[in-house]
Amino acid sequence: MLSVNQFRANLKQYVDQAVDNHEPLQVSRKNGEAFVVMSLEDYEREQETLYVLGNASLMKQIEESLQTYGKSKGYAPSADELDLDGSK
């Protein structure tokens, strides 16, 4: 965890690090409060994950999918559907 003074002194370096490494950066203030710096891409991914985890219907679909997959009884696409590059 960085102090806000360290963060301020090297703002560009730390922001680049958080964005390039896809790792949130924790920064603490003098009063003990902290904040996080992360890329917009990572933030949006976190929000999507929270949405899915909080949606009972989606979680049920995922669970059913996992059970089907485990039994090898899921949907099997045709050869044409697998031909994504259109070579046929």
CB 15 within 8 A of CB 36: no
pTM over 0.85: no
Mean pLDDT of the chain: 89
What gap in Å lies between CA 87 and CA 74, rounded to an integer?
26
For 2-38, CATH number out of 2.60.40.1190, 3.40.640.10, 3.40.1620.10, 3.30.360.10 equals 3.40.1620.10
For residue range 3-42, what is the model confidence (pLDDT) as tens digits? 999 999 999 999 999 999 999 999 999 999 999 999 999 9
Domain boundaries, the chain: 2-38, 42-70
Strands 25-28, 2-3: pairing is parallel
